[in-house]
Amino acid sequence: MSSVSSSLEWLFGDILKTRLIVLQEMVEKNTKNCEVSSEIMAYYRCCVSACHNDSRYPDKIVKHGHVEGELHWHYLPKNPKRRAEWTEQVSKGLESFLATDNKVVCSNHFQCRGPTFASPKPTLYLVQKKESLCLENKEL
Ligand SMILES: [Zn+2]
């Protein structure tokens, strides 16, 4: 009888110990994540509403066919006139948009991967296409 209870105790204790280790690992992981994010904060998230590109999720990044080479991130221009032009473009489809210094636009929205003399502002893929939605909601 006593051998059964002691082996149960042994099992139970072992499970508890394992859980404790898992918990400790979780805490350590979370602490590390927090440290990284507060230290670096170097990630880019495209501010175009129709675009979900985010440098933190490289697997999910979408690069359109016209973009040659790597996808680039472009900060909103400092020049107020140019910033207003970009803002007008990237805020399409948004109820409100705050043009701040840390907002970036990815290569997908430029004719030539980034701003050029011929095409200085983002013009492509600025709003989500609604066609598929309309099809789904078609009247019976
Ligand atoms: Zn984008």
Domain residues for the domain of 47 are 43-140
| Distance of CA 108 from the midpoint of ligand 1 (Å) | 5
Q: Are residues 35 and 54 in the same domain?
A: no
Q: How far apart are the first and last CA of the chain?
A: 71
| Distance of CA 6 from the midpoint of ligand 1 (Å) | 62
How many domains, in total, are found in the chain?
A: 2
| Distance of CA 109 from the midpoint of ligand 1 (Å) | 6
**109: pLDDT strictly greater than 60:** yes
Mean pLDDT of 16-22: 61
Q: Are residues 67 and 90 in the same domain?
A: yes
Q: Are residues 62 and 121 in the same domain?
A: yes
| Distance of CA 89 from the midpoint of ligand 1 (Å) | 12
For the chain, give the percent of residues with pLDDT over 90.
55
| Distance of CA 137 from the midpoint of ligand 1 (Å) | 27
pTM: 0.64
CA 130 to chain centre: 22
What is the Cα–Cα distance from 26 to 118, expressed in whole angstroms?
A: 52
Q: Are residues 53 and 18 in the same domain?
A: no
Give residue 37's pLDDT.
40
Q: Are residues 17 and 79 in the same domain?
A: no
